[in-house]
Each structure stands twice: as C-alpha cells, then as structure tokens.
Structure 1
Amino acid sequence: MQPVRTIIFAKAPRPGLAKTRLIPALNAEGAANLARRMLDSTVDSALAAELGPIELRVTPAIDTPEWHGVTLPSAVAIGEQGAGDLGARLARAAEQAVARGETVLLIGTDCVEMSAALLREAAAALRRHDAVLYPTVDGGYALLGLNRYHPLLFSDIAWSTDTVAFDTTCRIARLGWSLRQGSMLHDVDEPADLRRLPAAWVSPGGVITTSV
C-alpha cells in the first residue's frame, strides 16, 4: 500500500486576510477567529486520521508576520503554496507527492465536516480507485485524492465557480481513470454558511471562539 500524504492548504488566519467574505457578518477579527478555528480543526482531523505524513502549505510564507503567534503541531511539515493560481499550487503539491510514490489527499480548511473518519474513508477509496473527490454544495470540492498525477486536472479550471467539481470529474473521465465520488459536503465561505458551524464554536453572544 502506498503511503498517504495529507496536504492542507491554508491562508494565515489574520484579520483582513482570511475569510474576508465573512467580514460583513463577523467583522474582520471574527472572520480571522473562525479561520483559526477551522485551521486547527482540520489539522487535528488529519493528525487523528493517522494516515501518514501531514503537510501544511501556507500563504504567505510561515516566517512572515502574518503567522506570528500561530502555533502548529511539530508533526506537521510546513511548506509554501508558491506562485500561480490555485490550480498551479494544487498541481505542484500533487505532482511532488505522486513523484515520491505517495497517495495524496488535497484539502483546504473551509469544510466543517472534514474529519478523521472522512479522511480515512477517502484513503480507503484510493486503494481501489485512481482518484476520489468530495464535492461541495457550491460546486467546488473539499477533498481531491489521487494515486496518479496529470496537469489536466488543474489547468484552465474556473476556480471559485460552481463548475469546479464537474469540470474536474469530467477531466478524470477523459483520462480514463477510475473515480470514487464521496458525499456532498459544505464549505463555510459566505454569511449564509455560518449556520453550518458546530454550536460549540459560537458563544452565546454570537462570537466565534478560538480553539482551546
């Protein structure tokens, strides 16, 4: 069985940088608090899944002031997302992992349903399929898992639109790869999505609580 590398893509959880579409509902500080909570939750889920190496690809670089005060587990390797659009950054990470002989799970920090069980489920699917994809209600995807790499999956995609998951599944089919599509998930990107948050994350006053 190939080693499974989980690669998490994240922005620094700083006011005005992360979760900016939620600022009208939460203000800049509240949106940053939520970004930090979702980052910590995603990292905790990846660690609990115990699938293999975990890598956090960050923007901006980890040694910039935006990341000061953010403590990350020592078991998580830190790398930069690098230049280019989201497709270029995802492609670079996927290609490097597959070149090392690894299965790769590509995830962000926006999905509140991300869990150790879901990551294990995705990894198990990759024992029988070339790719696994968990779509989101807004037309994107919360997880893309691959045993193989091809740039077609990442180039000329209209990122942040409602066709991302559909276009990606079509391209997987064009490559002749087998695909396991997972359950529909939800990202928290817009004010209307806040109802998806776990109750424990919101104080009685409606303030997003940071991780303990």
Structure 2
Amino acid sequence: MPPARLVIFTRYPEPGRAKTRLIPAIGAEGAAAVHRRLTEQTVAAARASGLAIEVRTTGAPHDRFADWLGHDLVFVDQGEGDLGERMQRASSPLPVLFIGSDLPDLRAGHLAEAAKLIESGRTVLGPAEDGGYWALGLTEAADYLFADMPWSTDEVFRLTAARLAERGIVPALLPTLSDCDTPEDLARWPALSPGTAQRSRG
C-alpha cells in the first residue's frame, strides 16, 4: 500500500466567517485568531508526521493561504456542497487520511499511527468527544460514508461505524480527541485564548 495522502480541511481566518460559534463569547476577531492558531498547529503536526499534505481550502485565494501556511504545501479548493460532497471529491487518489483543523491536542504521532494502519490495509477512524470523528482513513472507495450523513451532529461517528459494519469492515480506532468549537471547549485550552492567539500573529 502506498503512503496515505493527508488531506486537511480548513478555511481562511476571516473575522466573522471563522469559528462562528465562538463569536458571542470572544468576538469575530478573537474567533478568527483561535482558528488561525489551530490551523497552524495542525499544519505543524502534519509536517512533523512526514506525510504528504494537501490542504483543502475555502474563503480566500490560494496565494493568501500560501503566504499564511507556507508555499511548500499543496492547496486545492474545497468546492461546493456539504462536507460529504467535499470529502468525496477529495478522496481520490487513495489511500487518504482526512482530518480537520481544530484539534488542540493533535500530535504528529497520531497521524503517523493512522498512516501506519492505513498502509497495512486498515480503514481508520478517530473518534471525537462530541460524537463525530476527527480522522477518517480510507484504502478503498467509500462513497457510502459521505452521502446523507447528518454532519455536525453527535450521530456521525455511530452512523459511520454502522455503515462500515454493514460491509464487514471493522475500522482501527485512533485515540479519542476533542475539537474546539464552543466557548466551553475553549475554556479547556487557555493557550488558545484570543490574546495569546493574537500575539502569535505579531
């Protein structure tokens, strides 16, 4: 099995459009700063893992992403549609490992472990504390995982595992991680506070 492509989904940290559920608590600028820092941490972990990185983007032209995250990365537009449609488009060529960009506790070791499992032929899932998943690794086409999924609900992991089970696939499970979407989430990681995040930009 060839090495997995690591596909990261993110958006440009434009105030008012990034991490909108944090805006009531810390304002649009603060929410965008948190998103900026989380994405930068994700890309740093991805680089340290040694995997080939593809960043699926929305919210700005690729040159702005390159100026922000580095000109060594591959940038591809996410395109239209819900998350499932965008993931389905990004799933070829295989094998592939999908992750988001809002995981404060993500480390290179998590990605290296996932890649090793994928290269051994396993389907991989990383459970998220909110009932979704933070990672999905595929070795073969799995369009059935992307259609008619209630994204951003606590049913996503359960339904994904059930759809795999219907086809006799038992995924290898990665450690459970939590993403940072709400003010309650943000309280768990003080280093992501807006003031600290803003200072990292300077």
> For residues 88 and 148 of structure 2, what CA distance do their matches in structure 1 show?
12
Partner of 1:23: 23
Partner of 2:126: 134
Cα deviation, residue 69, structure 1: 9.1
Q: What TM-score, normalized by structure 2, do the two folds share? A: 0.91
Q: Secondary structure at the match of 1:172?
A: helix
Task: Give the secondary-structure state (helix, strand or coil) at the position aligned to 2:57.
Answer: strand
Runs of 4+ in 1 over 6 A off after TM superposition: none
How many pairs does the alignment contain? 200
Provide the residue aligned with 2:85 in structure 1. 88
Distance 2:196 2:93 in 1: 35
Task: Determine if the alignment matches structure 1 residue 118 to structure 2 residue 110.
Answer: yes
State the superposition RMSD in angstroms.
Answer: 1.9
CA–CA separation in structure 1 for the residues paired with 2:196 and 2:184: 15
User: What is the distance in 1 between the residues matched to 2:113 and 2:133?
Assistant: 16
**TM-score, L = length of structure 1:** 0.87
The match for 1:105 is 97
CA contact (8 A) 1:140 1:160 kept: yes
Cα drift, residue 3 of structure 1: 2.0
User: Amino acid of the residue matched to residue 61 of structure 2?
Assistant: I
Deviation at 1:182, TM superposition (A): 1.5
Cα distance in structure 1, aligned partners of 2:31 and 2:183: 10
DSSP 3-state at the match of 2:154: coil
Q: Is the 8 A contact 2:3 2:115 kept in 1?
A: no
Change (3 A) 1:24 1:147: same
The structural deviation recorded for 1:171 is 0.9
Report the counterpart of residue 40 of structure 2 in structure 1. 40
Q: Does 1:160 align with 2:152?
A: yes
Structure 2 residue runs of 5 or longer lacking an equivalent are none
Task: State the alpha-carbon separation in 2 of the partners of residues 4 and 63 from structure 1.
Answer: 23
Gaps of 5+ in 1: none
Report sequence identity in percent.
Answer: 42
